[in-house]
């Protein structure tokens, strides 16, 4: 076959099993788009901004488990992808970004829309390439997909010059041979002696605790984690990105740790004698003050990326390798544990959850975000996909929406990217078209990528959008309230009429101002054929509790003022 470089791009995507791509055309990648219609098996989605396309591909990858693909042209097209690339990099999401570059003879001469995108993205990609020879397109794209999905996943960028897209190869054939890269060994297994040492430490621990991170989901080791926890009777705490690693209803799942985690979880970490960090990186939002973090605990860190071992927290034993395979070896060596005293102690620390649970406050006419999110959980099913933006609503969602299945919770963790919610929901819907998809967003973050409403309308897909509208940049306002004497500088926000905005895109808009209206609005959104926007006008100066101030001890939590009613949480 004779194939141009542009055709080879599409051929490679087909061979890699890509079924949807999120891209934006421009001058430098026009050859690729000129060839696109010859490959109808790949559905192309046109975002309204390249950042939106990157987040769509990200949401698609998180829900499907496949490599997400986003594409942009040179210059501003490529730089508009940068925030999405950094988001994927921080959260270890397997993605391939294909950007176009000016013709090779113009590189370095400040040509129109020329940007050194490989230089810009070097710190935020797992690897990147500049391709100027048509003969390199196929081998490099094959390597890109391999690197993105193997080992610790991450984003890979391939920048292809326009002349390489236009050049052709006679008698071209796709190479299906195994990929081997010098110096890249993503599959590492720990020595048996280390495995046995880990088992001995676990068996002798009185107050052990599993810290389950995103790596549990990325390695698909949810079942192995459940077997481990149930056999050893070790309770499990989850990170923000570890939500879904174990069903929320499981009796050994304590809930989320960290800055806005559950108080009993943070206290349990501080009292534990052994921490088992499974696929998590000891982020500062999880640990608080490192000098006082889990002072009495020995620590075992299971991680596929050796650079994470001892990076933030010094550990007693590091097991480098795939978590799923390590747990399969460790589980037979773990003895059945009788840790009733430890589990009962944690239950006593938990006490009556009404101490911080706004759900149990009387319904006095005020609409609280926690009401909305908990009701959304009650009126949806366990297969529902929830994506969030970043801010107060994100933390309330983590607290009040109880996730039962893996890969149903999609949020920006490491980078904390506002504008992530809506586009990631669109990508999630392409990954799981039969699932109900909701995105919970703030009025601030939503407006950053609200133009993607047109993408949803054009594609005819259905996502439901719950805007937690409090008229502020809520999380920043909360910090101003707690730490800056309520100096609300630049956080009050005037928003458009979100109902009319939805209607302007040809979509359904609903406004809710009272708790009594929440169920009807959710039911109407679920019953409506297309994308629906619900504007929930919630209490403006509410705060997320508990909160560990930045740099404080993990158990030095700010708690909600105690004007409370003691009733069961699950009413």
Instruction: Please pick, among 11, 50, 262, 308, the residue that the annotation labels catalytic.
Output: 50
Is residue 324 annotated as part of the catalytic site, yes or no?
A: no
Instruction: Please pick, among 56, 218, 448, 475, the residue that the annotation labels catalytic.
Output: 475
276 and 197 Cβ atoms separated by less than 8 Å: no
Is residue 472 annotated as part of the catalytic site, yes or no?
A: no
* Torsion angles phi and psi, residue 480, rounded to 5: -65, -35
Instruction: Please state, in angstroms and as integers, the Cα–Cα distance from residue 338 to each residue in 14, 34, 131, 296, 332, following that order.
Output: 52, 65, 59, 20, 17
Instruction: Please pick, among 1, 105, 112, 486, the residue that the annotation labels catalytic.
Output: 112
Is residue 138 annotated as part of the catalytic site, yes or no?
A: no
Spell out the SS3 assignment of 100-128.
EECCHHHCCCCCCCCCCHHHHHHHHCCEE
Residue 249, Cβ density class (10 Å: 0-12 exposed, 13-18 middle, ≥19 buried) = exposed
- Could you write out the DSSP letters of every residue in 9-52? HHHHHHHTT--EEEE---STTHHHHHHHTT-TTSEEE--SSHHH
Q: Which residue has the tokens 């997909």?
A: 145
Is residue 113 annotated as part of the catalytic site, yes or no?
A: yes
Is residue 486 annotated as part of the catalytic site, yes or no?
A: no
Distance CA 97, CA 373 (A): 34
- Cα 72 to the center of its chain, rounded Å: 22
Instruction: Please pick, among 66, 162, 299, 429, the residue that the annotation labels catalytic.
Output: 162
Helix extents (H) in 186-339: 192-204, 214-218, 222-232, 263-271, 284-287, 323-330
DSSP 426: H
Catalytic residue set: 50, 112-113, 162, 475
């Amino acid at each position: 076959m004779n194939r141009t470089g542009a055709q080879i791009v599409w051929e490679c995507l087909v061979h890699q099993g890509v079924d949807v791509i999120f891209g934006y055309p421009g001058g430098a990648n026009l050859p690729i788009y000129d060839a696109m219609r010859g490959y109808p098996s790949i559905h192309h989605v046109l975002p309204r901004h390249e950042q939106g396309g990157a987040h769509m591909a990200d949401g698609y990858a998180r829900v499907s488990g496949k490599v997400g693909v986003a594409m942009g042209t040179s210059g501003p097209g490529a730089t508009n992808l940068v925030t999405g690339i950094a988001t994927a990099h921080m959260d270890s999401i397997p993605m391939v970004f294909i950007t176009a570059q000016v013709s090779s003879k113009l590189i370095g001469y400040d040509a129109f829309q020329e940007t050194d995108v490989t230089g810009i993205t070097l710190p935020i990609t797992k690897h990147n390439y500049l391709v100027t020879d048509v003969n390199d397109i196929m081998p490099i794209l094959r390597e890109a997909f391999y690197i993105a999905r193997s080992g610790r996943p991450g984003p890979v960028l391939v920048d292809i010059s326009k002349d390489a897209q236009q050049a052709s190869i006679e008698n071209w054939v796709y190479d299906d041979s195994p990929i081997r890269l010098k110096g890249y060994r993503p599959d590492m297994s720990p020595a048996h002696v280390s495995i046995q040492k880990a088992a001995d430490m676990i068996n002798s621990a009185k107050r052990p605790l599993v810290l389950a991170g995103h790596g549990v989901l990325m390695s698909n080791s949810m079942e192995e984690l459940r077997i481990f926890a149930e056999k050893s009777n070790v309770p499990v705490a989850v990170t923000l990105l570890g939500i879904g690693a174990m069903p929320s209803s499981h009796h050994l799942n304590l809930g989320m740790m960290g800055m806005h985690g559950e108080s009993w979880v943070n206290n349990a970490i501080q009292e534990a004698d052994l921490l088992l960090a499974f696929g998590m990186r000891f982020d500062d939002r999880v640990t608080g003050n490192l000098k006082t973090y889990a002072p009495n605990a020995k620590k075992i860190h299971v991680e596929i990326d050796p650079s994470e071992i001892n990076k933030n927290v010094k550990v007693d034993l590091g097991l480098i390798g795939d978590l799923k395979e390590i747990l399969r070896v460790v589980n037979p060596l773990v003895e059945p544990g009788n840790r009733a005293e430890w589990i009962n102690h944690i239950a006593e620390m938990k006490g009556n959850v009404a101490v911080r649970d706004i759900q149990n406050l009387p319904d006095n006419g005020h609409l609280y975000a926690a009401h909305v999110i908990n009701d959304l959980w009650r009126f949806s099913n366990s297969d529902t996909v929830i994506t969030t933006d970043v801010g107060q609503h994100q933390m309330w969602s983590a607290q009040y929406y109880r996730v039962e299945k893996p890969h149903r919770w999609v949020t920006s963790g490491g980078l904390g990217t506002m504008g992530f919610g809506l586009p990631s929901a669109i990508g999630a819907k392409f990954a799981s078209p039969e699932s109900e998809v909701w995105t919970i967003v703030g009025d601030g973050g939503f407006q950053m990528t609200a133009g993607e409403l047109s993408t949803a309308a054009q594609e005819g897909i259905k996502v439901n959008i719950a805007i937690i509208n409090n008229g502020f940049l809520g999380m920043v306002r909360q910090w101003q309230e707690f730490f800056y004497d309520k100096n609300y500088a630049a956080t009050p926000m005037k928003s458009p009429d979100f109902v009319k905005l939805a209607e302007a895109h040809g979509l359904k808009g609903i406004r809710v101002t009272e708790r009594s209206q929440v169920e009807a609005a959710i039911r109407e959104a679920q019953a409506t054929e297309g994308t629906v926007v619900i504007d929930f006008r919630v209490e403006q100066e509410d705060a997320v509790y508990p909160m560990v101030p930045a740099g404080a001890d993990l158990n030095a939590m700010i708690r909600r003022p105690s004007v409370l009613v003691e009733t069961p949480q699950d009413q």
